[in-house]
Structure 1
Amino acid sequence: MKKNVFLVVLLSFFCLHAQAQKFGYVDMEYITSKMPEYQKAQSEMNQFSEKWAKEIQEKFAEIDRLQRAFMAEEVLLTDELKRKRQNELKEKELEAREYNNKVFGMDGMMFEKKKELMKPVLERVQRAVEKVCAQRRLEFLFDKSSDFVMVYTNPRHDYTDYILEELGIDTKPVPASAEATNQNSLTKKPK
C-alpha cells in the first residue's frame, strides 16, 4: 500500500513538473523563405553548383570524346598503344571522379561554400530564436520543417511569427481591397 501511494505521489510530481515547462515550434523553412539574405545566399549556391556541375560535365564529355576516338582507331593501334590509350582514359576518368568528389563530396567545396554563405544568415536566425525563447520563457522549441516528425501541432504553440518579427520581417499580406484602393487612386485623373 505504501509503495502505491509513493508511486502516485511521484507520478503526480512529474506530471506537475512537465506541465510547468513551456514548449513551442517554428517552421524554419517558412522563416528562411521570407529572408532576402537567405534567398541571396541560396541563389549564389545555385550559381556555384551550376558552374561546378558544368565543369564536371565537360570533363566527362571530353572522356567520352576520347573513348569514341579510341574505339575508331583501335583496329589500327598496336597492343602497346592500345594499353597506353586505355590507361590515359582511366586516368582521365579517375581525375573527373576525384574532382566530382572534391566539389560535391561530404566535405567538398560545395559544402564549404554553403557553410560560408549560410553561416551569417543562420546565426541571425539563431539569435532571434534565443531571444524569443528567453522572452517567452520557452524550455523547448522544435523545428516543424525538420526531420523530427510532428504528427499534430496546435497553432497556439507556433512561434514562427515571433521569430519573423524579431528578424524584422513583415508577414502580414496586403489586403486585396487596400491594394485595389491604392491602384485606383494612382490611375484616377484629377479634375
Structure 2
Amino acid sequence: MKRGLFLVTLWLIGGAVPAVAQKFGYVDMEFIFSKLPEYKKAQDGIDQFADRWSKDILDKQAEIEKMQRAYQAEEILLTDDMKRERQRVINDKEREAREYNNKVFGYEGLLFQKKKELMKAPMELVQRALDKVATQRKLDFLFDKSSEGMMMLYTNPRHDYTDYVMEELGLDPDSQKAKAAPARPAAAQQQKQ
C-alpha cells in the first residue's frame, strides 16, 4: 500500500515538473580509501589507540580476576565483615572497569572521538576531490557503490568515476584496479575517456 502511494506521488510530481536530464555517477570509496596514504595513517593511529585502551581494559580484568582468586583462597579464614569488604572492593573494581570500557568504546566514547579527529583530514581531502570531479563532469548525483546502504543491481562502467577521483588525489588507479576488477573491454575503456 505504501509503495503504491509512493509511486503515485512520484508520478504526480514527475508529471508536474518538466523532465530534466540528470547525470549520475558512482565511485568505489572503499578502494579510494585503501589507496589513500592519509587514510591509512589515520587508521593506523586509531588502531594504536584502540590497542592501548584494550590492553588497559585487559589489565583491569586481570587485576579483578587476581583479586577474586585471592578472595576465594582466603574466604574460609575471613570474618563476615572482611568478606563483605573484599566483595565490595571487587565489585567497585568491576564497576570501574565497566565504566572505563564504556568511556573508551561506548557510544561517542574516546575511540569514537579519536576516530572523528584523525579521519577529519582524509575525509575532507576526499570530499574536495569528489566535489571537483562532480563539478568538472557535470554530475547531479554521485553514489558510493561500496556502501551497504546503496545497493546497485547494475552499474555501467562508463559511469564509474573512481579513477577520476583517484587522479584528483594524485593516486595511481591502475596499480590495484587491474588486479581487483575483471578486465574491461577496450570499447568500454574508450567510452569512459
Identify whether the pair has TM-score above 0.5, normalized to the shorter chain.
yes
Q: Any runs of at least 4 consecutive aligned residues in structure 1 with deviations exceeding 3 A, and if so which?
A: 10-16
Question: Which runs of 5 or more structure 1 residues have no equivalent in the other structure?
Answer: 1-7, 175-191
Shift of 1:173: 3.3
Q: How does 1:50-129 map to 2 (within 5 A)?
A: 50-129=51-130
Amino acid at match of 1:97: R
Which of the pair has more CA radius of gyration?
1
SS at match of 1:142: strand
Deviation per CA, 1:119-157: give whole Å up to 9, x if none: 000000000001111111111111111122222211111
Amino acid at match of 1:153: T
Q: CA deviation at 1:12?
A: 7.2
2:161: which partner in 1? 159
Aligned CA distance change for structure 1 residues 70 and 23 (closer, same or farther; 3 Å): same
- What is the SS of the residue equivalent to 1:141? strand
Q: Percent identity over the alignment? A: 60
SS at match of 1:164: helix
- Separation in structure 2 between the aligned mates of residue 14 and residue 31 of structure 1, nearest angstrom: 36
1:14 to partner: Cα distance? 6.2
Alignment match, 1:173:
175
Match of 1:30 in 2: 31
Q: Deviations over 1:62-98 (max 9, x none)?
A: 0000001001111111111111111111100000010
The 2-side partners of 1:146 and 1:11 are apart by 28
Name the SS for the 1:84 alignment partner: helix
CA distance in 2, matches of 1:11, 1:136: 25
Amino acid at match of 2:98: R
SS at match of 1:168: coil
